[in-house]
Amino acid sequence: MTRAIAACLALLLAFPAVAQEETTRIGYVNTAITNLGLTRSHRVVVERFSDPEVAGVSCYISQARTGGVTGMVGLAEDPGRFSLTCVATAPVRVADGARRGERGEQVYESDTSLFFKETRVHRFIDEAAGTVVYLAWSTRLVDGSPYNAVAVVPYTR
């Protein structure tokens, strides 16, 4: 039984949680070594994701990830700070079904704590300016979070 638990823990540590299936980890830098290097260090991680309703756009988000034992097992709360940029990698085409309006549509989500805190990216279509606007923001259970980032990509109407 003890070996089975150890094997499960080893698998959990070997494969960090992925924000969503379409997310690709580009790389990371260590920002602080934890526990004399015996556990995962604090990091800033860069990931790429695509918007399923907007062809030709790749978005890159960098986020702080807490290290140490709690970070390795997914129990740590990551800081709610991040950076976002989105670029046209091919001709940009907005699908007819892409949600328009003031509330936009969520296109990315990443857990930043075990419970009730996430980084989300919403897409908004500014048809008057011919742009797709991406807003990254951090959720919190009680008081919300003021941290946010915006990226804008033009498209041909």
15-19, 42-46, 138-142, 153-157: least confident range: 15-19
Question: How would DSSP label each residue in 69-135?
Answer: HHHHTT-SPPPS-EEEEEEEEEEEEE-TTS--STT-EEEEEEE-SSSS-EEEEEEEEETTTTEEEEE
Rounded Cα–Cα distance for residues 124 and 67 (Å): 33
- Do residues 153 and 92 touch, judged by C-beta distance below 8 A? yes
Whether the CB-CB separation of 109 and 20 falls below 8 Å is answered with yes
Q: Which residue shows structure tokens 């580009």?
A: 26
Pairing between strand 54-65 and 42-50?
A: antiparallel
With bands split at pLDDT 50, 70 and 90, how would you rate the model's confidence at 38? Answer: low
Q: Please count the other Cβ atoms lying within 10 Å of the Cβ belonging to residue 121.
A: 25
Task: Indicate the pLDDT class of residue 144, thresholds 50, 70 and 90.
Answer: low
Whether the pTM exceeds 0.75: the reply is no
Instruction: Note the pLDDT of residue 146.
Output: 77
Residue 145 pLDDT > 60, yes or no?
Answer: yes
The 10s digit of each residue's pLDDT in 146-155 is 788 999 999 9
